[in-house]
Amino acid sequence: PGASWAEAASALRAQNATLVPGSREPANPAKRLARAVHGRALCIYAGSETLGPVAARWRTQLNENAKLLAHSALVPELNHNEIVGWERAGARHRETSVLVLRDAEDASGVARRLALTAEYARRQGADARAAAMMTMSAQSAMSEPPATA
């Protein structure tokens, strides 16, 4: 493996202690995220190049293991068709959380589309705490708590 793989493995090892089941919620970003989306439908959006497979995996794990209705979509397609589903603000949107998976290596156009999509969903009623920008990179993999988009 190259240097980037070694760097990613090192970052994941460093975060391992915060992600174990025995880790208290204030120190565990996964538990904080789970609390933020608990009982809500979840839309997971990502750029297609790097985090598309992660979005799909999270969706299937949430569907199967958490019994949570989750959906995933990728830029640029989500900005062509899916975005239309957000046009009418309403109760369904207020019961939905949006999680935007970001990668430090996302192209600037992809990053901008993801940020604008999260902001639009939030304006249409999606939960602001879960309309989060989560940086996924070797340097900060899961180390930063989700921030409001």
- For 130-141, the pLDDT digits (tens) are 333 444 443 343
pLDDT at 88: 84
pLDDT at 98 over 70: yes
For 86, half-sphere exposure in the C-beta direction (CA atoms, 13 angstrom radius) is 22
For 42, half-sphere exposure in the C-beta direction (CA atoms, 13 angstrom radius) is 27
The 3-state DSSP class for residue 16 equals: helix
pLDDT at 121 over 50: yes
More confident residue, 10 or 143: 10
pLDDT at 101 over 70: yes
Task: Read off the pTM.
Answer: 0.78
More confident residue, 85 or 16: 85
Q: What is the mean pLDDT of residues 98-123?
A: 90
Q: What is the mean pLDDT of residues 98-115?
A: 89
Q: What is the mean pLDDT of residues 41-64?
A: 91
pLDDT at 134: 45
Which of 14, 68, 26, 12 shows the shortest CA–CA distance to 44? 68
Question: How far apart, in whole angstroms, are the C-alpha atoms of residue 127 and residue 148?
Answer: 9
Query: What is the widest separation between alpha-carbon atoms in the chain?
Result: 48
